[in-house]
A and B are shown apart, each in its own frame.
Chain A
């Protein structure tokens, strides 16, 4: 598991201490995501990993799992590096 994924899981665990979540568990199916937590999650990802998530990346599949978020962060960093 990457450091990024570990950090994301740590954030979720901090918000929901009772949660047992793996990097591939669907956060939506276990009921952890509401609009408030979605906003917190986006702010956390942007601040912690120094990325800006564009509107067209605010898709459910990008936030469904910790692994998907890690991949999103990787894509955004690559885009910045290339740009």
Chain B
């Protein structure tokens, strides 16, 4: 798939340590190619290698495990910049981040030493396997089952809508265990694992979605990630929280992408000799984008600061950030197409892709409806005091 990537000049892949580095990386390696990858339905290996060289897969891991100790605020900024360029690439970062973070937070020392350096370097790419044909946000509906045996587990079942399922080397699979939902580490080449690509989807078309089935997959006892008791649900909750944070940041990137595209288009396009930028209705749309992108960015940063402090309030802050950013992204992507008129419906401008990708943001890592229920429940709880 390397033919999809055609850099215009020999580029550097300096380590990405913050927003400025990420912006330069995205502008150089992603922006001009995102629509090509979107149509091809895949991210080329060459780009994955460049992300590895830039140290962007899991920079939040400590240095002794291959990371660069990046804080969560900065990680959000990096994911925003990547989301500005291509939501499919950002999706790959999101699921890899979820697995890598869970490995570090809930893994044993042996698991961390075995996997984290490879995850940080991109030698092993991860995917998060929760959704099933009959269960999305409703984890009580998980049918995939892990049966304990003498020295491990037997896994049977199937997962759907798995981001990077086509390319990932290691799956974090949630399954019904003897007493609760548990997380298992499953190499993609384990006997009994079958990966079936999902093509022709609405948005994030290059995120290499797949269905993954497990047929009598034998796993050793050290495949279990995290506790198997009451706290096993925490692995899922905490990992989804980080995924939600990444999606919120990526949604901010979509809004910024819409704003950049619209400002540029409105500057160049004229109607009856008048530049679009001078039309009040166009100005209204752009002013709303400017306002919402700042608001969404601040909500994401707040959630990130709380994560960096280890403050439990980050969970609700992340719900709110994701709800605001994803719905604003969908709203402004809609308006961005409108600003571009018929050109917005074609393939020469990125806004059609933003429009399709933004819709996906309202569904993944907790749908808008689930978010509103959760946020309202929190408000109700406080009101009852």
Residues of A whose CB lies within 8 Å of any CB of B are: 15-18, 28, 33-36, 38-44, 46-47, 55, 58-60, 63
Contacts and interface: CB of A to CB of B under 8 A. Distances in A.
Contact of B309 (A36, A47, A58): A47
Given A38-B230, A47-B310, 13 more contacts: A16-B381, A17-B385, A34-B233, A38-B233, A39-B237, A39-B315, A42-B231, A43-B310, A47-B311, A47-B312, A55-B106, A58-B227, A59-B230
20 contacts: A15-B381, A16-B381, A17-B385, A34-B233, A35-B236, A36-B237, A36-B315, A38-B233, A38-B237, A40-B315, A41-B312, A43-B311, A46-B310, A55-B106, A58-B226, A58-B231, A59-B227, A59-B231, A60-B229, A60-B230
B108 A55 contact: yes
B234 interface: yes
B236 to A, nearest CB: 7
A56 B238 CA distance: 17
Contacts, number: 61
Contact of B384 (A18, A55, A63): A18
A59 B234 CA distance: 12
A59 B310 contact: no
Contacts of A43: 310-312, 314
B253 to A, nearest CB: 27
Contacts of A28: 230
A57 to B, nearest CB: 9
Contact of B234 (A17, A18, A39, A46): A39
Of the candidates A17, A38, A43, the one having the most CB atoms from chain B within 10 angstroms of its own CB is A43
A36 B314 CA distance: 12
Contacts of A34: 233
Interface residues of B, number: 23
Of the candidates A17, A41, A58, the one having the most CB atoms from chain B within 10 angstroms of its own CB is A58
A16 B312 CA distance: 15
A16 B230 CA distance: 20
Contacts of A15: 381
A47 B315 CA distance: 14
A58 B234 CA distance: 10
Contact of A63 (B230, B241, B312, B385): B230
A44 to B, nearest CB: 5
Contact of B227 (A17, A39, A44, A55): A55
A38 B231 CA distance: 7
Query: 7 closest A-B pairs (Cβ-Cβ)?
Result: A35-B233, A58-B231, A40-B312, A60-B230, A43-B312, A47-B310, A35-B237
A80 to B, nearest CB: 16
Contact of A39 (B107, B229, B312): B312
Contacts of B230: 28, 33, 38, 58-60, 63
Of the candidates B107, B227, B234, B237, the one having the most CB atoms from chain A within 10 angstroms of its own CB is B234
